[in-house]
Structure 1
Amino acid sequence: MEADVRDLFDEDALFDPFDDGPDGDFDPEAAAQVTVGAPLTAEEAAPKAAAAPAVDTRTAQERFRDLLKETPGQRCVMLTLVDYAREPKTGAEMDVRTEELLRYGFSIYSPVVFRELLEEAGALRYMLLDDEGNEIAVDEAAGGVAGEADAQSGMDDAAAETVVAGSDVAVGAVSGAASSSARAAVGVAAGVVGAAVAGAADVATGAADAEPVLRSEQYFDGEETVELEFLEVADERPGLWVATPEGLEVVDEQDDAGEIRKLLAAEPQYLDIYHQILDFCCEEGGRSAKEIDRLVNDSPLLEEPRRYSGYFVGRLERKGALEWRGGWCTTQVGRDMIEEALAAAAQ
């Protein structure tokens, strides 16, 4: 017969949190033995001051370059967007251009996120214009927002919380704030049939020309007519996106041709493979991955160490010599490399 598991425990040796000792007195030595961890010192017990937020001391050029390194798959898209914004563009124009660039590629970033990333990196900026088309200064725009806040402060009773007599209607005001590329619209509806309280906000960074207007609306709740007041902010003129001088400096310093030459020089044993792929992909519509496989995978040059076409395609893509457009296509800079190779061979 197997032993009863209860016989394996010594009940007298078990810890009882309600037992103060055999005589009912507190035993400091016993308490010290069961203490988990050492008691906190005065310095450890004192609340620690919150650490100051880290200050980014990088220049805009450094932030943009680091962003390109952190997102190599979207490098071409970001550089093209900044170059596209040499002349100011609307948000809609930037959206269309971003979608065009992402037509054959995948990205978890939406067009708005691309602009936000580039804005944080200092490569793009959002500017607001007045009625004459002149740019509104940052401090002036900030003053406009502050003026709106002052105008709204007088509406606390109506916009913050309104209790209507004879009904259980409470209206909460929600303040909306958006970045330069988004707008927050806020509406609060009353819980009475046929009753509606409209509240709208179109608050943007630097929305200096948006004039708050006090409006009222009446409705009948079944017993009496109730009038509610709310703030309505006029629509703001859309701003424009423009590349910063720092962003354009990084764009202009890109040297895809030089990077391709460095790649070819670093692996001279594969020079013929690179040239074959570039020339093969000059075909209209590009080439599929399987076609490139059949072109080079059986080459003796790839036997030791064993290489496959993807090794070369990936490197050519990162250097800007190949791009995917439903098929692998040689870019203009890649075609220039073919022309250089043919000219060198003819000498």
Structure 2
Amino acid sequence: MAASFEITPTDVPNGAEGAPLPAWDPKGGSHPRIADNDDPVVVLAPAEEAPDKRPASERIASAVQNLPGQRAVVLAVLNACREQCEDDAVAAVVAEAQRNSRSVYGPQALCSILERAGALSHVDGDGNPYRNEEVEPVRVVEDGVEYLQAAEPPVSYWVATEEGLAFADADDPLARTLALLDEQARYAPIYQYLLGACAGGAATKALSAWVDSHELTQEPRLYVAHFLHELEESGALEWRGAWTTTDTGEEVLARLG
């Protein structure tokens, strides 16, 4: 999200002992002269981001929607955190869920996003809010020489909130996929083809040859990536080194006949 700014007046002297500010050096070094008198200098200061007052359930749904291709990872994390789960254990869950994909969202980034959304809480071993404080180094004496050694921070844990668990428990990929097909009934032949073609795994290039040339995708112009994304988000397809139909996708395919 782009940072927002507000104008803040600040009493800043116009230079050492009232001397005018130096001219702007475009190669760096000096700021452009703002004023030749003692008027307050106007500077830009970051504005505080307004708190998101939506219910946690809405914030969680919105966060997941803004994490394309990460729904299964989010669900894996929430289910793993039904009880307090150490940082390293959460990292292992994320690594397993992302083993077949490349993602810019690592464990810490995902957990932080889910924490802000209200799906996870960061706690210490006693279940209290985790305080990320600087750990004092430890004095160590070795062979008569004393030195400071970095201390390990206390172990922290992640635990799913009631709202986070409610989101995980309400997940219904079958209903979501059927709703997708109902909303985009015009493209039912495309979706049916993809679910069938991916039953044994299929590459994007092979799928695009059929989908991108189909009459249904010409106007408005749509490409195979659109349909693959929709099926992945619904839970009917997964990327496992190739696009692969999930159990949900197979059930939907059976219903389509």
Count of equivalent residues: 223
Q: Which runs of 5+ in 1 are unaligned?
A: 1-35, 130-134, 143-175, 179-183, 205-237, 343-347
Partners of 2:127 and 2:73 in 1: how far apart?
29
Deviations along 1:112-151, one digit per CA (max 9) or x if unpaired, are 222222223221224444xxxxx4555xx88xxxxxxxxx
Q: Does 1:255 align with 2:172?
A: yes
Distance 1:279 1:40, change over 3 A: farther
Residue equivalent to 1:92: 88
66, 71, 74: which is aligned to 2:70? 74
Does structure 2 retain, via aligned residues, the 8 Å contact 1:125–1:244?
yes
Q: 2:230 aligns with which of 290, 301, 315?
A: 315
Q: 1:321 to 1:57 in 2, by over 3 A?
A: same
Name the counterpart of 1:57: 53
1:118–1:185: structure 2 CA closer, same or farther, 3 Å change rule? Answer: farther
CA distance in 2, matches of 1:202, 1:277: 50
Alignment RMSD: 3.8
Aligned AA for 1:325? R
Contact 2:87 2:158 in 1 (8 A): yes
Q: Any residues of structure 2 matched to 1:163-182 within 5 Å, and which?
A: 177=133
SS at match of 2:133: coil
Provide the identity percentage: 31
TM-score, with structure 1 as normaliser = 0.53
Q: Secondary structure of the residue that 1:198 maps to in structure 2?
A: strand
SS at match of 2:121: strand
Distance in structure 2 (CA, Å) of the matches to 1:259 and 1:321: 9
Q: C-alpha separation between the residues in 2 aligned to 1:127 and 1:306?
A: 48
What secondary structure, in the 3-state scheme, does the structure 2 residue paired with 1:72 have? coil
CA distance in 1, matches of 2:77, 2:48: 35
Q: What CA distance in whole angstroms lies between the structure 1 residues aligned with 2:42 and 2:104?
A: 44
Q: 1:200 to 1:282 in 2, by over 3 A?
A: same
Read off the aligned partner of 2:238 and give its amino acid letter: E
Q: In the alignment, is the contact (CA less than 8 A) between 1:185 and 1:202 conserved in 2?
A: no
Q: Which residues of 2 match residues 151-300 of structure 1 at below 5 A?
A: 177=133, 184=135, 186=137, 195-204=145-154, 238-283=155-200, 286-300=201-215
Structure 1 residue 94 displacement after superposition: 1.2
Residues 89, 56 of structure 1: alpha-carbon distance in 2 compared, 3 angstrom cutoff: same
Whether the aligned pair in 2 keeps the contact of 1:90 and 1:241 (CA below 8 Å) is: yes
- How far did 1:246 drift? 1.1
Q: Secondary structure at the match of 1:87?
A: coil
Contact 1:256 1:319 in 2 (8 A): yes
Q: Which runs of 5 or more structure 2 residues have no equivalent in the other structure?
A: 1-33
Query: Partner residue of 2:246?
Result: 331
Measure, in 2, the Cα distance between the counterparts of 1:56 and 1:40.
Answer: 40
8 Å contact kept, 1:82–1:243: yes
Q: CA deviation at 1:313?
A: 1.6
- Distance 1:116-1:309 versus aligned 2 partners, 3 A rule: closer
After superposition, the Cα gap between the structure-2 partners of 1:68 and 1:45, relative to the gap in structure 1 and judged at 3 Å, is same
What letter is aligned with 2:147? Answer: V
**Match of 1:242, SS?**
strand
Query: Could you tell me how far 1:78 is from its partner in structure 2?
Result: 1.6
AA at the equivalent of 2:181: L
Mapped to 2, the partners of 1:258 and 1:65 lie a distance apart of 16
* 1:185-239 C-alpha deviation (Å, 9 max, x unpaired): 74689xxxx85422544454xxxxxxxxxxxxxxxxxxxxxxxxxxxxxxxxx34
Q: Provide the TM-score with structure 2 as the length reference.
A: 0.69
Q: Identify if the C-alpha distance between structure 1 residues 196 and 313 changes in structure 2 by more than 3 Å, giving closer, same or farther.
A: same
Tell me, in whole angstroms, the C-alpha distance in 2 between the residues paired with 1:51 and 1:274. 46
C-alpha distance in structure 1 between counterparts of 2:247 and 2:122, whole Å: 32
